[in-house]
Every structure is written in structure tokens, then in C-alpha cells.
Copies of this chain bind each other. A is one copy, B any other.
């Protein structure tokens, strides 16, 4: 399987990286589904034709990217959006008093719309292409926390508008229904003033300072999949970040 042997070596790629790409391919192609147990290191080493140590480096790299979960004594599993660790991987708003609970949601609007230039740039589409638009209110213990707007390219999410009950954690739905795995996301935070609509939904005064989170989420192939703008009350909660 090794086809480097570069003389003047311009694009050298370590074997374990090539193996990793090959294994990620199995995730992309849906050969390995979220939650599934994948073959053991020994078995993979046999299949791919490299040593167990090289397989291990590839699996470790994928584990570091939260694509896999390894459990000693049990095996290696494909990460799934239902895992509690993954659940909070993308949800960084936590109540000030500490208790981390997942918010419930209420749909405010669902629509089919045309991508604005901003949407198109963020989602790598042509301006005017169809997008699904969802607006919802999320609360913790019945106290409104944030309103958010989610934009999805209609081309990749056929029938999204027909889904009756949108689950609280939509990334699980993306995975189950359309085979789209969210691998990473990029966020930009700003402080903005609440519009009248924001204020009405959140039960605060107009012009109340809100934390605006603009997120672009990417799939396994690093293509943008979702654009989400959340506007959050921060009187009882905050956005938590760890810098290392």
C-alpha cells in the first residue's frame, strides 16, 4: 500500500497519515456508522498491511479530532453526536451557577429561502441558492436563553422542511437522516443590542446587550454545512472557553 519512495520528495506524507486518510474515508462513505464498533487494531493492521503501531498512530490522531472514541478492554467506536461528551463539544453557553444542563427548544419559524451573499460565502454556495431557514428559542429551566437562526443548504438536506419535530440536538438528525457528520466548527463572537424581535422572544428590553455567536459548522470533508447565528442573554449564563 506504500507508494511513496520519493526521490526528490516534494510531498512526503507519513504512512500513518495516509492510513488515517484511508480510515476517515470509511467514515465519509458511511462504511462505518456513528456509534459502531470498528475492527480491532490487529485486524486493521492485517487489512491495511502495516504494523499495529502505525494503525495506532492513525487511530490516535482520529481520536484527538473527536472522530473516534477508544475504550480500553472494549474496542474503538465511531463518535456519535448522542454521546454526552460530544453533545457539549459544540454548546458552550453555561449557567453562571455551574449546573450544565442542555436547553429545551421551541421552533419559531421554518422556511425555505434564498442564500444572501453572506450565506453563500459562509456555506460555499452561489448567491440565491436555496437554503432551509430555522429560527428557534432555546431556554434553560423555562428561562429564555437565546434565539438562533440556522441556515442549511437545501441541496444537501432534501426534505428538511418535512421533518415534523426537530430534535433538540440537530447534529444527531443531520447524521441519521442525511449522513452528514459535523466534525468541527468555527465561531465568531460579538456583542450586539437586542432588536425588538429579540426582546419579544427573550423577554428583555430592546437594546439589551446580547452575545451574538456566528458559527459555521464543517463536515468530515471540511466543507461548510451549517450557518448558525445565536443571540444570547448573558445575565444568568456565559460562554465558556479554555485556552491552552
- The chain A residues found within 8 Å of chain B, CB to CB, are 65-66, 89-90, 92, 183-193, 207, 209-212, 215, 232, 234, 238-244
Contact = CB atoms under 8 A, between A and B. Distances in A.
B243 A188 contact: no
A20 to B, nearest CB: 15
Contacts of A244: 65-66, 89, 183-184
Nearest to A189: B239
Contacts of A243: 89-90, 92, 184-187, 215
Contacts of A89: 243-244
A187 B234 contact: no
* Protomer copies: 2
Nearest to A184: B244
B187 A241 contact: yes
21 contacts: A66-B244, A90-B243, A184-B242, A186-B240, A186-B241, A187-B242, A187-B243, A188-B240, A188-B241, A189-B211, A189-B240, A189-B241, A190-B211, A190-B234, A190-B238, A191-B191, A191-B234, A192-B209, A192-B234, A193-B209, A207-B207
Nearest to A93: B189
